[in-house]
């Protein structure tokens, strides 16, 4: 929480971008793993190793599901952040210490 949020009585929204950055890093890491697995799958196809190919495809599917879940969670966080910010704006507009209009 920042000082302004404490003194104004409103919650800070600074924590959400940090969570977002963590999710982005995780997604990038998973995408890199996905690229490596695709290369390995291609090698298995060239070797004619059907068993290895299937094993790798299963891993690829799992990683794709994880990426999808993380992106969905990120969308939900973005929606929540947008709602929080609009609530803070509404609250500050209704505040007795809000600047008066001339």
pLDDT (tens place) for every residue of the chain, 102 residues total: 444 444 444 444 444 445 567 888 999 999 999 999 999 999 999 999 999 999 999 999 999 999 999 999 988 888 887 765 555 555 555 555 545 555
3-state secondary structure 52-91: HHHHHHHHHHHHHHHHHHHHHHHHHHHHHHHHHHHHHHHH
In a domain, 34, yes or no: yes
In a domain, 38, yes or no: yes
Instruction: State which residues form the domain around 61.
Output: 17-72
Whether pTM > 0.95 for this model: the answer is no
In a domain, 48, yes or no: yes
In a domain, 102, yes or no: no
In a domain, 28, yes or no: yes
Dihedral of CA atoms 55, 57, 61, 64 in degrees, nearest 10, equals: 120
């Amino acid at each position: 929480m920042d000082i302004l949020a404490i003194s104004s009585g409103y919650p800070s929204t600074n924590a959400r971008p940090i969570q977002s950055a963590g999710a982005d890093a995780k997604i990038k890491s998973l995408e890199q793993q996905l690229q490596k697995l695709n290369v390995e799958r291609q090698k298995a196809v060239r070797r004619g190793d059907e068993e290895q190919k299937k094993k790798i495809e299963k891993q690829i599917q799992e990683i794709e599901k994880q990426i999808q879940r993380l992106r969905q969670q990120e969308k939900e966080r973005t929606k929540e952040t947008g709602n929080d910010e609009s609530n803070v704006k509404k609250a500050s507009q209704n505040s007795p210490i809000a600047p008066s209009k001339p």
